[in-house]
A and B are shown apart, each in its own frame.
Chain A
Amino acid sequence: MKRNEISRRLFLGNLSGGLGAAWLASRMPEILAAQDHAHRAAISRKPVKFEFFTAEQAAEVEAIAAQIIPSDSSPGAREAHVIYFIDRALTTFDKDKQKLYADGLKRLQRALKKFAPKAARFSEAADERQIETLKAIEKTPFFQTVRTHTIIGFLANPDYGGNFERAGWKVIGFEDNFFYQPPFGYYDRDYKEGQ
């Protein structure tokens, strides 16, 4: 897939900058090797089921994540499948945080009673109620951990289950192309010594 993308760019001459296609062509073997690598790393496997969370817990945590990085005109934590990343983290490298989540969700429930007494679950409360509830617990290790996990799930390599279709990277403007040519940004266009 990536391989085709590169060839297409190469043949369409869709290349800017001073070095041109010859530069790129001379480096094709390395680029392709690097791209293969990228491709392997980028295979996003959507888990068929949660390994740690119950469906109900997942809905609650996903709702928190969706307040941390909301969906608007661009994808948020929900569209980036952050919840799958968190579930995977809690069954692999962050196993020791399982209890923090279990206890944290109970704490969330208590806070919810105060700010949204009518809602049975956090995920069912109105946006404003959710935000008020989270503000009340934002200093807790639980919230801070969900925040960290949400950020990582949004922006880590898609191989970890989040950042679905590179949604997080697209939002912040990051590409992972393995190769670039100048100009890299606005200010180095048309650069001349002593300009």
Chain B
Amino acid sequence: MKQEHPKYEPATEVDFVVIGAGAAGGILAKELSTAGFRIVVLEQGPYLREADFEHDELKYVFHGAITNDFKRQPNTFRKTEKEKAKTQPAIAYARLVGGGSVHFTTNYWRFHEIDFIERSKLGPIAGTGFADWPVTYTDLEPYYTKAEWDLGVSGLAGTSPFDPWRSKPYPLPPLPIKSSGVLTERGARKLGWHAFPAPMAIISQPYRGRAACLHCGFCELYGCEVKAKSSTLATVIPEAERTGRCEIRPDSYVRKIETDKSGRATGVIYFDKAGHEIFQRAKAVVISANGAETPRLLLMSKSNLFPHGLANSSGLVGRYLMFNGAALAGGLFEHQLNEYKSVVVTRVIHDFYDTDPKRGFYGGGGIDMRLDLYPIGFAMFGLPPDTPQWGAGFKAALKEYFTRSVYVFGHTTSLPVASNSISLDPAVKDAWGLPAMRVTYKDHLDDMKTMKFFLDRGMELLDAADARKKWAFPLQESTFSAHLLGTCRMGDDPRRSVINKSHRAHDVPNLFICDGSSFVTSGRGQPTCTIQALAYRAADQIIGMAKRGEIK
């Protein structure tokens, strides 16, 4: 059926401009357009379809076919504010309609109740902005459920003793277990831990007109060719377009949010594909550009009225950047696992999710087994560090290890530290002449201790699962991440947060922000589920305000 999608003139004042067609923006577009509003979604990347996606490791993993292009969009990096930042890739995000939801691994963990109230339970942590969220798990629960059912998530409720309560089971049964899952269960049982079926945003059975997963194995960093991955591209974005009120405008790179004398947003200025500047008028603006581009855009949107950047009276725009930590232990097994087949993860362990004050440091996380490297990446980075780098020994290792290896991956917390930030680089510019993003990041000492703790658990799990050989990948301070969290945090106090609990900017009444930047704490390394639950909740809040005439 051919669908006529609307095309709005830039001079037409639409109800909302949504910046970013990703994990959050796609949901906001669908919810707002379904509620009757006229929407333009500006996406800096292209509008690719499933038929465009390929199994091509060189193109997708090494040449970044659907991620930000460091040559045209350089960023700089430094560990502390005292250093001069150097041009060096520090962040990655998917750059296409559907955003990160297209290429993510699809681990779909809800936050637990504790994630929202850790500060109250644990007390302050010196040198950090550790705080409670202004919303609780109870506030978000209906939206977690909505996300799981609207998008399509496979899992099995009631199998983890640590799971928070839920109002509804998963809409789809878990994906079939892989060898890594069986070994996770085996090891966990021996250690007295609890492995449970991984909740994944991939459909295990046909769902709402989409075909089930074929287990091709090309999930992480790839787009799904059969729409089995529940990206916003495969789910809510087509629904938004079907309302006839939502225009997805790809290849549109926003450089500024305009405001009038009263401090209200009037629309946004962006570059189209040809590089022409266009001003799209709107009654209200929603930014869902990701935890790095959202603060950058606000900082670039400075004016006489907002000299330090838009919505930045707190000075916190771009601050409290959180990457999530990672700990990686490798194991070689007697027989073939063939982990390259099917979805990345099938079992998860949450026994160490909560902070345990007895450990003497803040932090927690989740554990899974996976081999999320494809052949080239495995040959370059996947073998034990003591493997010969070339020659007969190297080839023999490739032969032996590729099908028999698996990693235990610890996904861990990051504390919100004010100096960890996204700011505008004073010297480096992007291909459009805009200030490049400057990333400042140094893991809190507790984050490093948490990673070490999870590395040790990983080695234990490999032993318990009877790995023939195990090895630790060296722990390093984070200098690169695709998890971009906390840079426009939500809160009740305008001096200590950028947006309120309805995602409205404290300083600008018709500006809303919803993506990873809204996070107050980092969760345990799987942010997408919560980003999307927040998006459904934000949409509800925004629709309510708009219908009550409160967005002026």
Q: What residues of chain A have their CB less than 8 Å away from a CB belonging to chain B?
A: 27, 30-31, 33-34, 37-38, 41, 67-70, 72, 74, 76, 93, 131, 134, 138, 147-148, 151-152, 154-157, 159-160, 168-169, 171-174, 176-188, 191, 194-195
Q: List the A side residues contacting B336 at CB < 8 Å.
A: 173, 185-186
* Contact status A172-B179, CB under 8 Å: no
Query: Assuming the A-B contacts A174-B375, A188-B178, are A30 and B226 also in contact, with contact meaning beta carbons closer than 8 angstroms in the complex?
Result: yes
* Contact status B176-A68, CB under 8 Å: no
Interface flags for B233-263 (1: CB within 8 Å of A; 0: not) read 0000000000000000000000000000000
Name the one of B183, B342, B392 contacting A187, with C-beta atoms under 8 angstroms. B183
* Contact status B179-A152, CB under 8 Å: no
Compute how far the CA of A168 lies from the CA of B342 in the bound complex, rounded to whole angstroms: 21
CB closest residue in chain A, given B55? A176
Q: List the B side residues contacting A188 at CB < 8 Å.
A: 176-179, 181-182
Name the one of B57, B181, B214 contacting A34, with C-beta atoms under 8 angstroms. B214
* Contact status A27-B211, CB under 8 Å: yes
Q: List the A side residues contacting B399 at CB < 8 Å.
A: 74, 171-173
* Contact status A27-B212, CB under 8 Å: yes
Q: List the A side residues contacting B59 at CB < 8 Å.
A: 157
Q: List the B side residues contacting A148 at CB < 8 Å.
A: 380
Residue among A27, A30, A173 with most chain B CB within 10 A: A173
Q: List the B side residues contacting A156 at CB < 8 Å.
A: 56-58, 376
Residue among B225, B341, B376, B390 with most chain A CB within 10 A: B390
Interface SS of A by simple majority: loop
Name the distance in Å between A98's Cβ and chain B's nearest Cβ: 18
Query: Assuming the A-B contacts A151-B380, A180-B342, are A131 and B398 also in contact, with contact meaning beta carbons closer than 8 angstroms in the complex?
Result: no
Please name 18 pairs of A and B residues whose Cβ atoms are closer than 8 Å in the assembled complex, sorted by A: A27-B214, A33-B226, A34-B226, A37-B51, A41-B55, A70-B391, A147-B390, A151-B379, A171-B399, A173-B338, A173-B403, A174-B402, A178-B55, A179-B216, A182-B177, A184-B338, A184-B339, A185-B338
Name the one of B177, B214, B338, B391 contacting A191, with C-beta atoms under 8 angstroms. B177
Residue among B185, B341, B375 with most chain A CB within 10 A: B375
* Contact status A184-B225, CB under 8 Å: no
Q: List the B side residues contacting A151 at CB < 8 Å.
A: 376, 379-380
Compute how far the CA of A80 lies from the CA of B500 in the bound complex, rounded to whole angstroms: 58
CB closest residue in chain B, given A154? B379
Name the distance in Å between B47's Cβ and chain A's nearest Cβ: 19
Compute how far the CA of A148 lies from the CA of B380 in the bound complex, rounded to whole angstroms: 7
Name the distance in Å between B427's Cβ and chain A's nearest Cβ: 23
Q: List the B side residues contacting A181 at CB < 8 Å.
A: 215
* Contact status A185-B179, CB under 8 Å: yes
Name the distance in Å between A48's Cβ and chain B's nearest Cβ: 23
* Contact status A138-B178, CB under 8 Å: no
Compute how far the CA of A41 lies from the CA of B59 in the bound complex, rounded to whole angstroms: 12
Q: List the B side residues contacting A178 at CB < 8 Å.
A: 55, 214, 216
**Does B49 lie at the interface of the complex (its beta carbon under 8 Å from any beta carbon of A)?**
no
Q: What residues of chain B have their CB less than 8 Å away from a CB belonging to chain A?
A: 51, 54-59, 62-63, 176-179, 181-183, 185, 211-212, 214-217, 225-226, 333, 335-342, 375-376, 378-380, 389-392, 394-395, 398-399, 402-403
Name the distance in Å between B395's Cβ and chain A's nearest Cβ: 5
Name the one of B58, B215, B337, B394 contacting A157, with C-beta atoms under 8 angstroms. B58
Compute how far the CA of A172 lies from the CA of B63 in the bound complex, rounded to whole angstroms: 23
Per CB-CB distance, the 10 closest pairs between chain A and chain B, nearest first, are A186-B335, A185-B179, A187-B179, A155-B375, A179-B214, A172-B402, A185-B337, A173-B403, A185-B338, A68-B390
Compute how far the CA of A54 lies from the CA of B108 in the bound complex, rounded to whole angstroms: 52
Compute how far the CA of A99 lies from the CA of B395 in the bound complex, rounded to whole angstroms: 28
Q: List the A side residues contacting B179 at CB < 8 Å.
A: 183-188
CB closest residue in chain A, given B465? A187
Query: Assuming the A-B contacts A147-B390, A184-B338, are A155 and B376 also in contact, with contact meaning beta carbons closer than 8 angstroms in the complex?
Result: yes
Q: List the B side residues contacting A37 at CB < 8 Å.
A: 51, 54-55, 225
Residue among A93, A157, A160, A195 with most chain B CB within 10 A: A157
Query: Assuming the A-B contacts A34-B214, A34-B216, A187-B183, are A72 and B395 also in contact, with contact meaning beta carbons closer than 8 angstroms in the complex?
Result: yes
Q: List the A side residues contacting B335 at CB < 8 Å.
A: 185-187
* Contact status A180-B215, CB under 8 Å: yes
Compute how far the CA of A174 lies from the CA of B404 in the bound complex, rounded to whole angstroms: 11
CB closest residue in chain B, given A77? B395
Query: Assuming the A-B contacts A37-B51, A173-B336, A179-B214, are A185 and B389 also in contact, with contact meaning beta carbons closer than 8 angstroms in the complex?
Result: no
Query: Assuming the A-B contacts A68-B394, A172-B402, A184-B342, are A31 and B214 also in contact, with contact meaning beta carbons closer than 8 angstroms in the complex?
Result: yes
Compute how far the CA of A187 lies from the CA of B182 in the bound complex, rounded to whole angstroms: 6
Given contacts A69-B398, A147-B390, 16 further A-B contacts (CB under 8 A): A30-B211, A34-B216, A38-B55, A148-B380, A152-B62, A155-B375, A156-B58, A156-B376, A168-B375, A169-B375, A173-B399, A182-B177, A185-B338, A185-B341, A185-B403, A187-B182
Residue among A37, A68, A177, A186 with most chain B CB within 10 A: A186
Q: List the A side residues contacting B176 at CB < 8 Å.
A: 182, 184, 188
Q: List the A side residues contacting B402 at CB < 8 Å.
A: 172-174
Q: List the B side residues contacting A76 at CB < 8 Å.
A: 395
Q: List the A side residues contacting B378 at CB < 8 Å.
A: 172
Compute how far the CA of A180 lies from the CA of B178 in the bound complex, rounded to whole angstroms: 11
Name the distance in Å between B54's Cβ and chain A's nearest Cβ: 6
Compute how far the CA of A168 lies from the CA of B59 in the bound complex, rounded to whole angstroms: 18
Compute how far the CA of A180 lies from the CA of B339 in the bound complex, rounded to whole angstroms: 12
Compute how far the CA of A138 lies from the CA of B391 in the bound complex, rounded to whole angstroms: 12
Compute how far the CA of A68 lies from the CA of B395 in the bound complex, rounded to whole angstroms: 8
Name the one of A70, A74, A157, A172 contacting B55, with C-beta atoms under 8 angstroms. A157
* Contact status A180-B54, CB under 8 Å: no
Name the distance in Å between B232's Cβ and chain A's nearest Cβ: 20
Query: Assuming the A-B contacts A37-B51, A160-B58, A179-B216, are A93 and B226 also in contact, with contact meaning beta carbons closer than 8 angstroms in the complex?
Result: no
Compute how far the CA of A195 lies from the CA of B181 in the bound complex, rounded to whole angstroms: 12
Compute how far the CA of A82 lies from the CA of B118 in the bound complex, rounded to whole angstroms: 54
Q: List the A side residues contacting B58 at CB < 8 Å.
A: 152, 156-157, 160
Query: Assuming the A-B contacts A138-B390, A156-B57, A172-B398, are A186 and B337 also in contact, with contact meaning beta carbons closer than 8 angstroms in the complex?
Result: yes
Compute how far the CA of A177 lies from the CA of B215 in the bound complex, rounded to whole angstroms: 10
